[in-house]
Amino acid sequence: MAYSATKPAKSALFKEYLNYYMARVGLSQNRLAVCARINQSRFNKIYNGTIKNVSVDTLICICLALGLNEDETHDLLARQERAFSPAEPAHQAYLELIRIYSEKEIIYDTTPQNLSTILEYADVYLRERKFAELPNANLSAKIDGKQLMDKPDGFVEVEFSGLELGAYETKEGVRFTAKATGIALVNRKA
């Protein structure tokens, strides 16, 4: 689907501005959903205006993924009838992240798996300041320690350390990823 590269009128809808920003960075709806860590179905509903009460943190995921500056972010939030609250400390951290991401070079020409990591810096930034991470609908899980399961005949038992599992949606369906900091054979027979 082709998106307009012409900046929409001030009275334009959220969807029209989203199209403009996606065209500006060369992202499709699907790839933006992956970058922003939003389930594709939910993203489509946000995009089409079916969901009316979109949370500020979900909108921040979209703004960060698009590399919007502070003015553009305020404007896009307002088009969803949302705003930053000066009384909410997390919102001040979101504003600082907007400033950082608007200056950051974001590489969009990469695999969906890499696209889904664009907001990892934001999560680290928020955790360091004792705030909750941004929403992540990519169904990630981190497993530490020994995990047991029955092993089929002909296979060896291994133990992973720092195992991280992830899932994300593509047009073709759900894709899974796994990453571990270490792997070792268990009960190795001589």
Tell me what pLDDT residue 142 has.
53
Give the pair of three-digit tokens for residue 132: 């909750």
Angle between helices 70-78 and 89-103 (to 10 degrees): 130
CATH fold for domain 14-128: 434 Repressor (Amino-terminal Domain) (1.10.260)
The torsion defined by the Cα of 147, 184, 153 and 176, in degrees rounded to 10, comes to 60
Which residues in the chain show pLDDT less than 50?
Answer: 1-3, 139-140, 190
Tell me what pLDDT residue 187 has.
67
Instruction: Write out pLDDT tens, residues 19-49.
Output: 999 999 999 999 999 999 998 889 999 999 9
Domain edges within the chain: 14-128, 141-186
Tell me what pLDDT residue 182 has.
80
* Closest residue by Cα to residue 21 from 12, 39, 125: 12
pTM for this model (two decimals): 0.71
Tell me what pLDDT residue 1 has.
43
- Per the document, the length of the chain is 190
